[in-house]
Amino acid sequence: MPFAVLKDFHPMVGLDLHIPWPLPSPAPSPAPVNYFCFHVLAGWGGTYQRAITHSTSWGAMVQKGSDIGPGIPHIGVPSYLLPLDILFSASKSYWGTTDYKAEGKPAAVCVIPWAHININLNCGTPFPKRPGIVIAFNTHYGGMTWGDFFHGLFSFAIDWALQYLISKGLGKFNDWFANKFLNPALTKAAAKSLLRGTVKGNVINQVAREMAAANRARADAFLKIFPRFMRPSQEAANPILNNAVGTLSGFLFGGPLGMDANGAFGWWTPGGAATNGTQDYLNNNVVDEFGQRPKKPDPPPPPPRRPPTIGPAPGCAP
């Protein structure tokens, strides 16, 4: 079956989910909303992978595993967090054909035959939930085996699962850190409930007031980093700190999607190492298309026996 080969000028459109901090709301939204995103596969040239030797007047050939991001435009609710969503955006192509390689790598193709449509793994908050759609209008086709199809499917699933697990794990860390520094609702009453059983007598009231006052002071100090026109209320300090810690920890931890310390500075990151390790396993030549190591080949047969030679009888002169 013919599968359209992806070129750098092919457009990608999607409807990603991101958590906004609407203007001029004092706090981020509790749930993600839709953002329309679009770009061509070449992106801004950051993580885009192409075969320069296969360039034509109709564009260069895209290689399997190419990522459009960072910097994919998003249109939706005006948000203070939108620049970060765009900066860390991603859209990755996973299907390719091993029958048609470009500079040693499989050429990226559409997963749906005849339809000129491919499915990319896009970014999202807190993890990817919707794919990007690539429209490949050309007459350049390549074949794809079942091994190619399952390789792309496994690559897609592994990256999605890693991004999900990383987001969940970092989300718990972000909550713990933000709550440790800025309790989301540490009033005097909440502090008393927290202290009950550990502080006796009337001292509990004094300690509760001090804890609540210290929490408000930390919130005020944290919020002073924002300009006056967008300075939120004290109640918003915890979710804002959570988002800030999440962005920083995600950048340093790394992962399969979006910009991180590995892509930006070449630093080693746990998420990047896990992604590369799993993808390298699938790309290993000694691993077949279904992820199982093939059986060792049978040993070569022994060399044929040489027939005996007949010489002169012992004691007889020639």
With CA atoms as reference, report the closest residue to 259 among 108, 92, 42. 92
Lowest mean pLDDT among 43-47, 114-118, 225-229: 225-229
247 part of a folded domain: yes
18 part of a folded domain: yes
288 part of a folded domain: no
pLDDT at residue 232 in the model: 60
- Asked whether residue 146 falls in the same domain as residue 180, the answer is no
- Asked whether residue 182 falls in the same domain as residue 50, the answer is no
- Asked whether residue 7 falls in the same domain as residue 144, the answer is yes
Q: How confident is the model at residue 133 (pLDDT cuts 50, 70, 90)?
A: very high
- Asked whether residue 199 falls in the same domain as residue 267, the answer is yes
pLDDT higher than 70, residue 234: no
Q: What is the DSSP letter of 270?
A: H
Q: How confident is the model at residue 75 (pLDDT cuts 50, 70, 90)?
A: very high
Answer for the pair 136, 59: CB distance below 8 angstroms, yes or no: no
Q: How confident is the model at residue 300 (pLDDT cuts 50, 70, 90)?
A: confident
Any idea what the Cα angle at residue 98 is, between residues 158 and 137, rounded to 5°? 90
pLDDT at residue 287 in the model: 47
- Asked whether residue 72 falls in the same domain as residue 191, the answer is no
pLDDT at residue 131 in the model: 92
Condensed to tens digits (0 to 9), the pLDDT of residues 157-191 reads 888 888 888 888 887 887 777 767 666 555 555 55
254 part of a folded domain: yes
pLDDT higher than 90, residue 134: yes
Amino acid at 205: N
260: how many CB neighbours lie within 10 A of its CB? 22
Lowest mean pLDDT among 94-98, 171-175, 255-259: 255-259
Q: What is the mean pLDDT of residues 149-153?
A: 88
- Asked whether residue 276 falls in the same domain as residue 204, the answer is yes
For tokens 């713990």, what's the residue? 176
Q: What is the DSSP letter of 258?
A: S
161 part of a folded domain: no
- Asked whether residue 61 falls in the same domain as residue 128, the answer is yes
d(CA 216, CA 222): 10
Q: Among the three residues 152, 185, 213, which one is the final residue of a domain in this structure?
A: 152
Q: Give the residue, 87 or 190, on which the prediction is more confident.
A: 87
Helical H segments across the chain, by residue range: 82-87, 146-181, 188-195, 203-223, 237-253, 261-265, 270-283
Task: State the average pLDDT for the chain.
Answer: 78
Q: How confident is the model at residue 231 (pLDDT cuts 50, 70, 90)?
A: low
- Asked whether residue 196 falls in the same domain as residue 128, the answer is no
Answer for the pair 127, 74: CB distance below 8 angstroms, yes or no: no
Q: What is the mean pLDDT of residues 193-220?
A: 68
CA 216 to chain centre: 36
Amino acid at 196: R
Condensed to tens digits (0 to 9), the pLDDT of residues 24-62 reads 776 778 788 999 999 999 988 777 788 877 776 577 888
d(CA 237, CA 218): 9
- Asked whether residue 106 falls in the same domain as residue 220, the answer is no
Q: What is the mean pLDDT of residues 117-130?
A: 88
pLDDT at residue 291 in the model: 46
- DSSP letter string over 120-144? EEE--SSS--SEEEEE--SS-EE--
- Asked whether residue 112 falls in the same domain as residue 13, the answer is yes
With CA atoms as reference, report the closest residue to 133 among 282, 215, 14. 14
d(CA 154, CA 151): 5
Q: Among the three residues 120, 152, 184, which one is the final residue of a domain in this structure?
A: 152
For tokens 């499915």, what's the residue? 119
Q: What is the mean pLDDT of residues 295-313?
A: 74
Query: What is the span of the domain harbouring residue 75?
Result: 3-152
- Asked whether residue 107 falls in the same domain as residue 241, the answer is no
Q: How confident is the model at residue 98 (pLDDT cuts 50, 70, 90)?
A: confident
Q: Give the residue, 207 or 287, on which the prediction is more confident.
A: 207
- Asked whether residue 131 falls in the same domain as residue 234, the answer is no
With CA atoms as reference, report the closest residue to 110 among 10, 21, 25, 232. 10
278: how many CB neighbours lie within 10 A of its CB? 17
pLDDT higher than 80, residue 266: no
311 part of a folded domain: no
The tally of domains found in the chain comes to: 2
Q: Among the three residues 113, 137, 152, which one is the final residue of a domain in this structure?
A: 152
Instruction: Give the pair of three-digit tokens for residue 276.
Output: 């590369």
Percentage of the chain lying above the pLDDT 70 cut: 73
